[in-house]
Amino acid sequence: MTTTVERPALSADYDVLIVGAGFAGMYQLYRLRNLGVRTAVIEAGSDVGGTWYWNRYPGARCDVASLEYSYSWSKDVQNDWVWSELMASQPEIERYLQYVVDRFDLRRDVLFNTRVKSAHYDETAKGWTLTTDRGDTLRAPFTIMATGCLSAPMLPNIPGIDSFQGTSVQTSLWPKEGVELTGKRVGIIGTGSSAVQAIPEIAKVAGSLTVFQRTPTYTWPANNRPLTDEDQRKVRETYDQLRETERNSLAGIALGLGGALYAAPTTKIMDLSEEERRAALDQHGFAVTRMFADVPTNMEANSVARELYGEMVRRVVKDPETAASLMPTEHPIGCKRAVIDTNYFGTFNQPHVSLVDLRKDPIAEITPGGIRTASREHDLDVIIYATGFDAMTGALNRIDIRGRGGERLIEKWADGPRNYLGLMVEGFPNLFTITGPGSPSVLSNMMVSIEQHVDWITDCLEHLRSHGIETMEPELEAEDRWVDHVNNVASGTMYVAPSCHSWYLGENVPGKVRQFMPYIGGVGRYRQKCDEIAANGYSGFVLGKAALAAV
């Protein structure tokens, strides 16, 4: 159920402002309301959902099992909500959040259809002033950015992009009313996760589908399926234990319901003979390239896995030229975020689906009638841009955020994001970032990381209140140490291999400095560090008036 809400009247007395009404913003609101903290949430969309509000393209689906990609903080919700599939689709996830929000009456504190334009720290008032595109000015001592990691959509800079006379649409800004694709000549630019999910679904209805691919993608079968009563019963019996395992795990995932995709490998591909590798390929298909411990760490093992992957692509895709184009050759397995799919490669066997390999035949321009590549014009009715996001920092940098002395966050982060624990930035007191760069965030089950951050921030705010502390920000040294630590744990992994270019490294955004942004140390280890720091009286942070005056 989606309830239309009146815009709540603004107050002059907020304690905390939250930006974003996705899963993070809604749980944060719930926690703060229970503490009696006066809170408003500002949200650009017309309803809750965040990522799951904006990304409603055909085939949009979560890649973590629904029984795990769900709130753990309400036993009632956990017991009452029944997921229909192993991995939930966007409509189901959106319905779930709406159900939670209705159940706890959370909408009444949200200003929908309102985008935050600026957030400035006022040193005299010791608080934040936010302005919006609706002309609002809101003030509060604390601001929490729940703005998401993949929420600043990117449009490519292609000549003629505005000249197209047909329908142009971005997967990340898919209209609620849908897009008419039936029988149409559809072109899609991009082959990242969004496109890989959308392509098989669009092919079911489009008259023709042309995929414009710059970089081929490693993708693994999702093996999605309806959840059985037995699945549900098993998980419900041990839910508490399961959630605890998630919290102390590497990626916030405990069940491994996705099969080999989520199992922690122990054996090494380099220990297998050629015959054994082939046998494994015959038995497990694409999954074989995710089943060995040395593939993510050893380039030779990675090359072996890539050969097997190529063999699988050739087995599925009938046209040899298309198969060759679909096989990633330039980057190792494990460099980019793992994509999962349902019949992605098989879709290219359909006669009305074609692939344009932009490495051989680059886009020259968008024309009124379609897309012109170096070799020819492709006439289209619809162009879909599945061209990604300015990840992790984009949503923050698109707001004019200024801290002490008017310092701009975008300038502080000109050489890459710097913060402490991914939670707070030196020079920007009383500003929290949920799942910010430098935290496990996109390398984990987001729900686990969101809950951990919200709980930590809420405990922190309680601590500040009960100790009469007005301001909090990281020490510069603590921030520097954390940034070094984040970089050190990533070094030596495929994520930062010289041949790897990914949105984790910010390399999809022109001018963005190459820096591995998420924390790869694991959610369990990270939680432990955050808890230790809190238990030590928030070591590494400067607390209170007197200390700040000396900064």
Which residues contact ligand NA7 by CB under 6 A?
A: 150, 156, 158, 189-195, 214-215, 337, 358, 386-389, 503, 508
CB of 321 to ligand NA7, least distance (A): 19
Q: Could you identify the residue written with the tokens 């496990």?
A: 440
Which one, 214 or 234, has the nearer CB to ligand NA7? 214
Q: Which residues contact 462 (CB under 8 A, 6 or more apart)?
A: 35
Between 302 and 508, CB nearer to ligand NA7:
508
Q: How far is the CB of 238 from ligand NA7 (least distance, A)?
A: 28
Q: Which of 165, 176, 175, 263 is nearest to 220 (CA)?
A: 263
Q: Min. distance of Cβ 363 from ligand NA7 in angstroms?
A: 6
Give the residue with the Cβ less far from ligand NA7, 504 or 526: 504
Pairing of strands 137-140, 339-341: unpaired
Taking the complex as a whole, the smallest distance from the CB of residue 50 to ligand NA7 amounts, in Å, to 12
Q: Which is nearer to ligand NA7, 216 or 521 (CB)?
A: 216
Strand ranges for 218-367 from DSSP E: 219-221, 339-341, 353-357, 363-367
- Residue 10 beta carbon to ligand NA7: minimum distance, rounded to whole angstroms: 34
3-state secondary structure labels for all residues of 487-502: HHHHCCCHHHCCCCCC
Among 118, 96, 112, residue whose Cα is nearest residue 27:
96
Shorter beta-carbon distance to ligand NA7: residue 32 or 496: 496
- CA of residue 68 relative to chain centroid, distance: 16
* Closer of 86 and 446 to ligand NA7 (Cβ): 446
Least separation in angstroms between residue 418's CB and ligand NA7 is: 23
What is the greatest pairwise CA distance in the chain? 72
- What are the DSSP calls for 60-82, one per residue? -B-SS-TTTSS--S-HHHHHH--
* DSSP codes joined into one string, 343-393: SHHHHTTSTTEEEEETTTS-EEEEETTEEEESS-EEE-SEEEE---B-TTT
Torsions phi, psi of 470, nearest 5? Answer: -95, -30
Q: Which is nearer to ligand NA7, 427 or 440 (CB)?
A: 440
Q: Which of 172, 154, 148 is nearest to 436 (CA)?
A: 148
- The CB-of-258 to ligand NA7 minimum distance in angstroms stands at 15
Q: CB nearer to ligand NA7: give 150 or 181.
A: 150
Spatial CA neighbour of 106 closest among 57, 146, 68, 60: 146
DSSP type of residue 337 = P
Least spacing, CB of residue 218 vs ligand NA7, in Å: 11
Contacts of 406 (CB under 8 A, 6+ apart): 120
Q: Which is nearer to ligand NA7, 86 or 366 (CB)?
A: 366
The Cα 152–Cα 390 span in angstroms is 5
Structure-token pair, residue 255: 């069940």
CB of 24 to ligand NA7, least distance (A): 16
Provide the minimum distance between the beta carbon of 337 and ligand NA7 in the complex, in angstroms, as a whole number: 4
What are the backbone angles phi and psi of residue 464, rounded to the nearest 5°?
Answer: -60, -45
Nearer to ligand NA7, 422 or 429 (CB): 422
CB of 385 to ligand NA7, least distance (A): 8
Shorter beta-carbon distance to ligand NA7: residue 112 or 220: 220
